[in-house]
Every structure is written in C-alpha cells, then in structure tokens.
C-alpha cells in the first residue's frame, strides 16, 4: 500500500498519554490551567482521567513505573477509522509494538487500538472510538 494512503485513516491527534504516580496532583495541575475532566475510568485498579481544553485532550493515568522526568509522556494517540484494516496494512511496513488490535472499555463504548514505534522510540497509538 502506498504509504501516503495512511492519511485517509488518520483523522487527528486524539490524546496525549501521561503516566503518573501523582494522580490527584497531576489532575489539579492541569485543571488549574483550564482543562476540564470529561471522563474518568478505573482500569485494572488504576485510575484514568481524560481532560480537555479546546481541541487538546490528555489521558492521565496511574502507573507505578514512570520516568518522573522530562520525557515522561508515554504516547501520542491518533484518532483513526478502520483500525483493523489499518493494522493489517501496517504489518511488515512499520515497527508494531502491538501483536494485535486491543480493546478497552473506555468511554460510553469501547476503544480499539494498536501501537507503533517511531524512529526515536516514541510510541504512537492508533485508536478508534467505537460508536
């Protein structure tokens, strides 16, 4: 597949993932900047919050293993359509961090996603919100 055809699937940045051992402090910090909590979840005993200001969304989630230093952003998620098709098309072309499309019970319905690794070891999550 022509690599430029991937842009037909990618619709924009969905969220930026920030792991933290200081969950409440992190939420308070971003709220003080004007972010609003738009969704909260509990996944495998860890709290997860999505905060938004204008068109910027953050995913703040509890994690015991964080860098706690510059560069502690865990991933950038891109909103996509047809995540299963995109996963198949990217196999063998990009360095996939996922062996399959995963599904989580976030939001009112689930999300499906997989991860690829960029040239600087950055993690890009390609994520589709299910209707």
pTM above 0.75, yes or no: no
Assess whether pLDDT exceeds 80 at residue 4: no
For residues 47 and 76, the answer to whether their CB atoms sit within 8 Å is: no
Domains of the chain: 3-129 (3.10.180.10)
For the chain, give the number of residues.
131
- Residues 43, 25, 127, 119, CA torsion sign: negative
Contacts of 63 (CB under 8 A, 6+ apart): 19, 20, 21, 46, 74
Q: Which two structure tokens, joined as six digits, stand for 84?
A: 């299963």
Give which of 79, 75, 71, 68 is closest to 122, Cα–Cα.
75
57-112 pLDDT, tens digit each: 999 999 887 766 666 778 888 889 999 999 999 899 888 999 999 999 887 789 99
């Amino acid at each position: 597949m022509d690599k430029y055809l991937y842009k037909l699937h990618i619709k924009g940045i969905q969220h930026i993932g920030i792991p933290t051992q200081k969950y409440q402090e992190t939420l308070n910090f971003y709220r003080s900047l004007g972010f609003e909590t738009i969704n909260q979840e509990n996944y495998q005993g860890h709290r997860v919050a999505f905060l938004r200001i204008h068109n910027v969304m953050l995913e703040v989630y509890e994690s015991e293993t964080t860098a706690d230093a510059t560069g502690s952003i865990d991933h950038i998620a891109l909103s996509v359509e047809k995540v299963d098709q995109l996963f198949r098309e990217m196999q063998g072309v990009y360095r996939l961090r996922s062996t399959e499309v995963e599904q989580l019970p976030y939001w009112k319905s689930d999300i499906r996603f997989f991860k690829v690794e960029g040239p600087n070891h950055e993690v890009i999550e390609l994520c589709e919100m299910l209707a």
